[in-house]
Structure 1
Amino acid sequence: MMWESVFDLFTRLRSVSVSQYGICKLVVRRHRGKSVECNGGHWVHSGDWVGELHLDNRQVLQLSRSVGPDRAALMTARMLRNSLKQISLAMDSTPELAKVKALTGITLLHRGIIYGLGFELHPMRSKWFQWFSTYYLRLLLMVLHPGGKRRVKQSTEKLNPMMLMMTKQALMERYRKEVIPCRN
């Protein structure tokens, strides 16, 4: 978890803001790299503002230790859904989020964790960043998952990072309808 503290410091230096929404840290920064075409004909270009999602690994580790890895994965997905609802509500009231065009993230667990959440999968285009992300995320999986080392060895060819993307429009359409307004 010491690495988490170093990562948090580095993240704050390269972003406009870092906010916590449930199990997610949301880092607002400019998109770097090639343009990405999303569903519905929306594009995210280099220089556009994005919200980079990071799971709070301390919370994930605590869940895994307390309820086991399988139950922790289900709970993490539910908590991520709630975080996305919170982010959709904050989009209108938080100036840093008003300019965000899309939410992004990098993950090895794209097969299981994104089911039903509304993210699109995109291959990583930068070979260097893909290489770095592969080794970093595999190391993280070995540390956070009780059977992580065995899992990484058994599934090495399947554990390739993918970029997740959800446009602001898709986020609002999907998660605003799930929010039930309070009545006085």
Structure 2
Amino acid sequence: MNTSLLMLWRYWDEIYQRCTRLTYIEKGKNIFRVVPLRYRGEPLRTSDEQIIQDGDFILKIHIHNYYFASLCRGVQDELRVALLLRRHILQSLPKLAAFLEAMEEREKIKGIVGTTMLHKGVVPLGFSISDVPMNWFFRYKRWYLRLMLRLVHPDGKRRLQTWKQDMPLKRVYMSKEMLLARYGQNRQQTTGDTL
């Protein structure tokens, strides 16, 4: 991605962040931005058998695309981009857990939920995955994320032509209990999350 395009994206990202009420977990260091809201959609069963239902409070998670694009600047290898994303998600999850633990409304929050095309490899991190209904909102979101992929991915144009209309947009989600057990301050130390 060239410098001028990245600069324009930075300005757009600042406007987008203000309009969507997204909160930085740790600006410039964490790949997530979040907004607490009520979940709207079909029931989601997490891997630890918790249920997130329509109307439950959740922490909606967004990958900070501009931040990730700036990290990927100059990276041409597809595998390196994927590994970079996974590493930053893994590094960002403990701070996300700490953010949730510090929230005044933490008792109300049922879990974290996001929508993404970058869902490969997230199950071992504790996430569950489900399809999204392709209504007008998710069609728009898919268009937007396809544009982001074209800009960020070293081979984005070819990847989009390969996937065409079958670009898989998915929900990724995790219960609050799972997030805190795996990544919270009192988590058990594990050795399975190496990259």
TM-score by length of structure 1 reads 0.82
Q: Which residue of 2 aligns with 1:182?
A: none
Distance verdict in 2 for CA 1:43–1:4, change over 3 Å? same
**2:25 maps to amino acid:** Q
Q: Which residue of 1 aligns with 2:35?
A: 27
5+ residue gaps in structure 1? 180-184
Q: Which residue of 2 aligns with 1:155?
A: 163
5+ residue gaps in structure 2? 1-8, 191-195
For 1:19-68, what per-residue CA distance to the aligned partner results, in whole angstroms no more than 9, with x for missing partners? Answer: 32411112211112233233343211222111111112222112211444
Distance verdict in 2 for CA 1:50–1:95, change over 3 Å? same
Q: Which residue of 1 aligns with 2:193?
A: none
Query: Take 2:102 and 2:120, find their aligned partners in 1: how far apart are those partners?
Result: 33
Given the alignment of the two structures, is residue 78 of structure 1 paired with residue 87 of structure 2, yes or no?
A: yes
Q: CA deviation at 1:98?
A: 4.2
Given the alignment of the two structures, is residue 170 of structure 1 paired with residue 171 of structure 2, yes or no?
A: no
State the identity as a percent: 29
| 2:23 aligned residue (15, 18, 23) | 18
Structure 1 residues 1-150: aligned runs within 5 Å:
1=9, 2-12=11-21, 18-21=23-26, 22-68=30-76, 69-112=78-121, 114-125=122-133, 127-150=135-158
TM-score by length of structure 2 reads 0.78
Q: CA deviation at 1:106?
A: 0.7
For 1:106-150, what per-residue CA distance to the aligned partner results, in whole angstroms no more than 9, with x for missing partners? Answer: 1112124x2521110011135223322221111111122232111
Query: Take 1:146 and 1:7, find their aligned partners in 2: how far apart are those partners?
Result: 24
In the alignment of these two chains, the number of paired residues is 174
Structure with a larger share of its residues in helix = 1
Q: Is the 8 A contact 2:32 2:96 kept in 1?
A: no
